A and B are shown apart, each in its own frame.
Chain A
């Protein structure tokens, strides 16, 4: 349906995207995952025909849309990272304005605005000015605006940034429902692994402009099929303990947070008892120790040596 073929994008000295290949099939939810600065937003902007790549091609139903973007523009709805609304207009006025821009008119426009307000749960607030909305309500309206013209593909650039858990879950459910009921294709970028894990059929993982892994969730987790993740929790760490872990020959990756250390180790090696005795040796008050199957977060850690939110 939609393809990025060997796309690169350079901004002066920065190469934001390097030789990216990506395909999107009708009706699937694609996750584009990576930390800040990974190149996700640039990839999304190229996919939305907002910027032209320095090299490569964007194809929609096998036809290039770089020079003639209108067939793709009609088919996509873009939810930008920012709250792209007019705060001094009401929810209804914002929807009417963007609907008219898309040449919806009269009763068709009114009907569509009502449907959208219902879908995003803002019917009661239709007359209220957007400046009085909470962050979550603005995000929902942002999504509503992108869906007005019944797009085939919804492109969402981190739509849950900075909102409360309730609104976040509402948005995730709405995306899931749109995909199921309307067969809407969704491209969803996030640096929240659990959102991508919950929503997406296939995932592309980017880091520093490169595509570092792609496939279904299961395929990506297979990258670490021969490894285990060990999570150690304690109130504090000491440097000697961390150095010891990093220098251990059977530990492939060590990621340190304030109260948790995550290790990636080969499955055949049992480090459980060894770690417990190390914590005693370095006088660390251990709170818990878990061995678990690798998550997408662990795969990212394994591939890049960094956590997603670093």
Chain B
């Protein structure tokens, strides 16, 4: 594990300088806030937009706080995942392409330290961005709709965090095989889309899938007891470990001479 702490510090310093520590939390906060605010002001927004027949009355039943926060998680599923993949796609490839990986590889730094440092530094950034934004959404939901208990909130955050561990490991693993940002993003999103589609088309056979954790996080908001929770959690943890091992193995196969 030599040098891991130094590598993590460098990752964070770089993320501060390139603004990732600023834009990612802000983007997530906007994404999360927009859900309770638009739902609350929906009648006024429709009225301003116009086009309704004379005398029409807009009567939208007020959703519960849990339903509003579930909507926030749905926003993360699409736009949030895209933002996460975009923010992670270049963390390895830019060091491979600019050659700084050579400076690191000829020093006493193991592939394990290198990959874990990338995973931890990204994961911390993502978890903080996600938690801040979700707590902000929870705050507005409590004010504008009904109160959601902190236990449900943190239960949901806990399950979603395991999904994020998998997401970061997936993008890093793909990054050790490919050398262009667009192909890394494309392949990562492609794998996630296939998993999500399979879960939609054959839910009975996909109960193990890491994508189930996103719906489990929604369930955690709406119910006290969540069904079939441990299978996807166990599989996701095992797949995450496998992806990190794959990335470490792949890094050891890299060719540094440009062939």
Contact = CB atoms under 8 A, between A and B. Distances in A.
Contact of A48 (B14, B106, B108): B106
A51 B103 CA distance: 14
B111 to A, nearest CB: 13
A242 B98 CA distance: 43
Range, interface on chain A: 35 or more
B109 interface: yes
Interface stretch (A23-31, A78-86, A285-293): A78-86
A135 B6 CA distance: 27
Contact of B108 (A73, A80, A85, A97): A73
Interface in A62-79: 70, 73-74, 76, 78
B257 A51 contact: yes
Contact of B99 (A14, A44, A49, A80): A80
Contacts of A129: 17
B255 A51 contact: yes
A78 B108 CA distance: 13
Range, interface on chain B: 20 to 34
A1 interface: no
A178 B257 CA distance: 26
A100 interface: yes
Contact of A45 (B104, B108, B257): B257
Contacts of B258: 41
B18 interface: yes
Interface string B100-136: 1111111111000000000000000000000000000
Nearest to B258: A41
Interface string B78-98: 000000000000000000001
B13 A80 contact: no
Interface string B5-18: 01101100110011
A100 B103 contact: no
Contact of A42 (B98, B107, B108, B259): B259
Contacts of B255: 11, 51
A16 interface: yes
A70 B13 contact: no
Contacts of A309: none
Contacts of A89: 10, 13-14, 17
A139 to B, nearest CB: 12
B203 interface: no
Given A78-B106, A89-B10, A102-B107, 18 more contacts: A45-B257, A48-B106, A49-B106, A50-B256, A51-B256, A70-B108, A73-B107, A74-B108, A81-B99, A84-B98, A84-B102, A86-B100, A89-B13, A97-B9, A100-B6, A101-B108, A102-B108, A145-B103
